């Protein structure tokens, strides 16, 4: 985590952020400024546009750490801005919005056009606005709205206010581009908490796991979390158990193994969320290193009903605890989710969900050592709603504890 300080909508903000967190995620997830919308998440649609030192930028492709010491203004910070007020009235008058998802980014981009190109005609406005996409309006109302504000301001003789690039941000970007590559970057998370219900007092990731690649920074566009849990058996017994793919699948709620050999597995994950049921089918390759008791899994899957697709990589390593009869499993998961469920994957709630799922797996794994090991699944489908509710409840209780200063 990296500590940063910045000014957001006129107020000083201090935050601890992962090195690869985007500015949009910081605004939405930590600061709860949800007026900044995420659309394409590739810097194309413009829905996430904010002002960085007065300059419009795509917050979904700018790292939060690059904004340390700078000034951010989101759509919430333009409530008293006279140009934005004129634009809001014009958008309503000219019917420049329908669903409203793109509107926040449109207003910020339109404000910049008015300041930078105060004599723009409709053709120029079309060209300048080409970086902001809208699915509903056809753009005619939006262009008419911006042009009407330009005409009114010109008629009133309003002085031109030119926008210049952020010198501080350009310098910061140069400094960051000179830093080591991602393979040498600081891990996004090096202080994981225990995912085991049987051993809540977990320690940080052991140093010997670093050589396995656990804790390495996630790739751009991928989400990562690192967890560890305790199994009440010696490392060699745990390694043997985790090398048995059917027994592993039997401990993971909703998982079903359909085919496997020594290196390849095929199966599905059955998920229930209220009345909705989904089945992700996919395959993965597994690399096992008995000498270091390290396993690497690379897989991909899709759900035909929602059209969502996912790729995931996982690395796990078994490390001995102080007692030779106890083992600690350290697990690093990196995934990329595409399709309708992609927005959910960006949320901190999604990572909490993953951690609680690992906690369920750890509990079942511990319990399996006391059973005959039939390989039958503990759950025919993953009750995502139940885990989500438990996650939200945990967050609410933590918030109440911070507010009241006492246990709830």
- DSSP string of 82-126, one letter each residue: HHHHHHHHHHHHTT--SS-TTHHHHHHHHHHHHHH-TT--HHHHH
Q: What is the pLDDT of residues 28-53, one digit of tens each?
A: 988 999 999 999 888 889 999 999 98
Q: Which residue has the higher pLDDT, 248 or 183?
A: 248
Counts of helices then strands in the chain (DSSP H, E): 11, 13
User: So what's the pLDDT on residue 350?
Assistant: 60
User: So what's the pLDDT on residue 317?
Assistant: 92
Q: Is 242 helix (H, G, I), strand (E, B) or coil?
A: helix
Q: Is 365 helix (H, G, I), strand (E, B) or coil?
A: helix
Q: Which residue has the higher pLDDT, 318 or 396?
A: 318
Given a cut of 60, whether residue 185 has pLDDT beyond it is no
Given a cut of 70, whether residue 198 has pLDDT beyond it is no
Q: What is the pLDDT of residues 210-234, one digit of tens each?
A: 445 555 555 666 777 788 888 888 8
User: So what's the pLDDT on residue 121?
Assistant: 92
384-404 and 348-368 are packed helices; what angle lies between their axes, rounded to 10 degrees? 110
User: So what's the pLDDT on residue 308?
Assistant: 76
Residue 201's CB is within 10 A of a number of other CB atoms, namely 8
pLDDT band of 170, cuts 50, 70, 90 = low
Percentage of residues in the chain having pLDDT higher than 90: 32
Given a cut of 90, whether residue 248 has pLDDT beyond it is no
User: So what's the pLDDT on residue 174?
Assistant: 53
Question: Whole-number mean pLDDT of the chain?
Answer: 77
Q: Is 322 helix (H, G, I), strand (E, B) or coil?
A: coil
DSSP 65: G
What is the mean pLDDT of the segment spanning 151-175?
Answer: 62
User: So what's the pLDDT on residue 24?
Assistant: 93
Q: Is 155 helix (H, G, I), strand (E, B) or coil?
A: helix
Q: Which residue has the higher pLDDT, 22 or 174?
A: 22
Torsion-angle region of 274 (φ positive above 0: left; ψ -120 to 50: alpha; else: beta) = left
Q: Would the CA dihedral through 368, 257, 221, 134 be positive or negative? A: negative
Residue 164's CB is within 10 A of a number of other CB atoms, namely 9
Given a cut of 70, whether residue 197 has pLDDT beyond it is no
List Cβ neighbours of 167 (8 Å cut-off, separation of 6 or more): none
Q: What is the pLDDT of residues 334-383, one digit of tens each?
A: 887 776 666 555 555 566 667 777 878 888 888 887 654 444 444 455 55
Q: Are 253 and 379 in contact (CB under 8 A)?
A: yes
Q: Are 222 and 298 in contact (CB under 8 A)?
A: no
Q: Is 66 helix (H, G, I), strand (E, B) or coil?
A: helix
pLDDT band of 165, cuts 50, 70, 90 = very low
User: So what's the pLDDT on residue 273?
Assistant: 57
User: So what's the pLDDT on residue 160?
Assistant: 56
Q: DSSP H helical segments within 228-316, as ranges?
A: 235-242, 245-251
Q: Which residue has the higher pLDDT, 98 or 400?
A: 98
List Cβ neighbours of 190 (8 Å cut-off, separation of 6 or more): 204, 205, 215, 226
User: So what's the pLDDT on residue 110?
Assistant: 94
pLDDT band of 293, cuts 50, 70, 90 = very high
User: So what's the pLDDT on residue 116?
Assistant: 87
Torsion-angle region of 354 (φ positive above 0: left; ψ -120 to 50: alpha; else: beta) = alpha
Q: Which residue has the higher pLDDT, 355 or 137?
A: 137
Q: Parallel, antiparallel, or unpaired: how do β-strands 264-273 and 276-289 relate? A: antiparallel
Q: Are 225 and 333 in contact (CB under 8 A)?
A: yes
User: So what's the pLDDT on residue 166?
Assistant: 46
List Cβ neighbours of 336 (8 Å cut-off, separation of 6 or more): 221, 222, 223, 310, 311, 312, 345
pLDDT band of 199, cuts 50, 70, 90 = very low
User: So what's the pLDDT on residue 214?
Assistant: 56
pLDDT band of 310, cuts 50, 70, 90 = confident
pLDDT band of 58, cuts 50, 70, 90 = very high
Q: Is 319 helix (H, G, I), strand (E, B) or coil?
A: strand
Strand order in the sheet with 11-17: 11-17, 2-8, 71-73, 49-52, 55-58
pLDDT band of 297, cuts 50, 70, 90 = very high
User: So what's the pLDDT on residue 343?
Assistant: 56
Given a cut of 70, whether residue 288 has pLDDT beyond it is yes
Q: Is 306 helix (H, G, I), strand (E, B) or coil?
A: coil
């Amino acid at each position: 985590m990296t500590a940063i300080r910045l000014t957001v909508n006129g107020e000083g903000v201090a935050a601890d952020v992962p090195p690869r967190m985007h500015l949009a995620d910081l605004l939405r997830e930590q600061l709860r400024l949800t007026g900044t919308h995420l659309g394409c998440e590739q810097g194309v649609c413009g829905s996430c546009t904010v002002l960085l030192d007065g300059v419009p930028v795509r917050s979904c492709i700018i790292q939060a750490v690059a904004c340390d010491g700078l000034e951010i203004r989101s759509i919430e910070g333009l409530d008293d801005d006279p140009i934005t007020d004129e634009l809001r009235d014009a958008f309503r008058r000219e019917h420049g919005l329908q669903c409203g998802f793109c509107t926040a980014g449109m207003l910020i981009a339109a404000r910049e056009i008015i300041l930078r190109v105060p004599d723009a005609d409709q053709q120029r406005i079309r060209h300048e606005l080409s970086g902001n996409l809208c699915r509903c309006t056809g753009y005619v109302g939006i262009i008419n709205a911006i042009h009407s504000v330009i005409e009114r301001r010109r008629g009133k003789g309003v002085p031109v206010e030119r926008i210049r690039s952020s010198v501080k941000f350009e310098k910061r970007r140069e400094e960051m581009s000179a830093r080591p590559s991602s393979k040498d970057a600081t891990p996004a998370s090096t202080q994981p908490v225990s995912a085991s219900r049987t051993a809540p007092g977990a320690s940080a990731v052991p140093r010997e796991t670093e050589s396995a690649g656990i804790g390495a920074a996630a790739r751009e566009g991928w989400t990562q979390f690192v967890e560890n849990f305790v199994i009440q058996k010696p490392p060699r017994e745990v390694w043997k158990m985790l090398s048995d793919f059917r027994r592993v699948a039997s401990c993971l709620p909703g998982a079903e193994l359909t085919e496997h050999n020594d290196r390849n597995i095929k199966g599905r994950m059955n998920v229930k969320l209220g009345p909705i049921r989904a089945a992700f089918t996919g395959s993965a390759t597994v690399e096992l290193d008995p000498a270091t008791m390290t396993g690497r899994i690379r897989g991909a899957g899709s759900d035909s009903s929602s059209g969502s697709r996912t790729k995931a990589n996982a690395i796990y390593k078994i490390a001995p605890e102080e007692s030779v009869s106890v083992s600690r499993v350290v697990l690093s998961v990196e995934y990329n989710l595409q399709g309708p469920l992609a927005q959910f994957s960006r949320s901190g709630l999604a990572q909490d969900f993953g951690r609680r799922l690992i906690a369920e797996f750890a509990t079942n794994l511990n319990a399996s050592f006391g059973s005959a090991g039939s390989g039958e699944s503990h759950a025919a489908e993953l009750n995502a709603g139940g885990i989500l509710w438990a996650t939200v409840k945990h967050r609410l209780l933590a918030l109440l504890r911070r507010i009241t200063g006492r246990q709830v």
